């Protein structure tokens, strides 16, 4: 039986790891442990900070901090991460918005990260407020039946 559990964990672990959407590169900047689990024998609960770049807006980097569940269930990908996050985006060079960037009230998804084994993700959508000459990023959480009201917003000038 222990072999079966080990095999199941090995097969599920790639599914549990947070992943960025659309093949964009993310980089973990760092993390802090928020609670010790199982006397330190397993990964602790933590808040992880990652960086991602918008593929259609040059010169902008976004940083998202997300709560990650630790313990045995968190290590094997069976835990659901809480829908708690913060988002900040900054100008890192000349800001150039691609003509291919979607310009609509529904925005365009530029990032997603799995926060449970099935049907829950943290997503970041981009909106263009061309009247005010800014790019707006909104992070929110999905759930199986309805979206979560938890959200965060970051705004970057297009100058």
* Residue 3: inside a domain: no
Closest CA to 124 of 17, 71, 50, 15: 50
* Residue 36: inside a domain: yes
pLDDT of residue 44: 73
pLDDT of residue 43: 66
Alpha carbons 79 and 101: distance in angstroms, whole number? 35
pLDDT of residue 88: 96
pLDDT of residue 122: 81
pLDDT of residue 87: 95
Number of structural domains in the chain:
1
* Lookup result for tokens 């049907």: 119
Tokens of 142: 């999905």
Model's pTM, two decimal places?
A: 0.72
- Contact present, 128 and 103 (Cβ < 8 Å): yes
Query: Domain residues for 95?
Result: 26-157
Per residue of the chain (159 residues), give pLDDT as tens: 445 443 343 334 333 344 444 446 889 898 888 777 666 665 677 888 999 999 999 999 999 998 877 755 555 555 666 677 899 999 999 999 999 998 888 999 998 876 665 667 788 999 999 999 999 999 988 776 666 678 889 999 997
* Residue 43: inside a domain: yes
Long-range interactions of 148-157: CB distance < 8 A, separation 24+: 148/83, 150/83, 150/84, 150/85, 152/85, 152/86, 152/87, 153/87, 154/62, 154/87, 154/88, 154/89, 155/89, 156/57, 156/60, 156/89, 156/90, 156/91, 156/95, 157/91, 157/95, 157/133
């Amino acid at each position: 039986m222990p072999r079966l559990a080990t095999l199941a964990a090995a097969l599920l672990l790639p599914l549990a790891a947070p992943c960025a959407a659309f093949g964009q590169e993310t980089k973990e900047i760092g993390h802090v442990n928020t609670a010790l689990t199982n006397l330190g024998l397993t990964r602790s609960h933590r808040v992880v900070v990652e960086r991602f770049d918008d593929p259609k807006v040059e010169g902008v980097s976004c940083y998202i901090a997300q709560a990650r569940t630790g313990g045995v269930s968190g290590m094997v990908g069976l835990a659901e991460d809480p829908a708690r996050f913060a988002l900040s985006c900054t100008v890192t060079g000349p800001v150039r918005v691609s003509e291919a960037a979607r310009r609509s009230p529904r925005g365009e998804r530029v990032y997603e990260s799995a926060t449970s084994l099935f049907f829950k993700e943290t997503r970041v959508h981009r909106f263009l407020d061309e009247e005010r000459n800014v790019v707006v990023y909104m992070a929110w959480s999905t759930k199986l039946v309805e979206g979560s009201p938890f959200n965060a917003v970051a705004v970057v000038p297009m100058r």
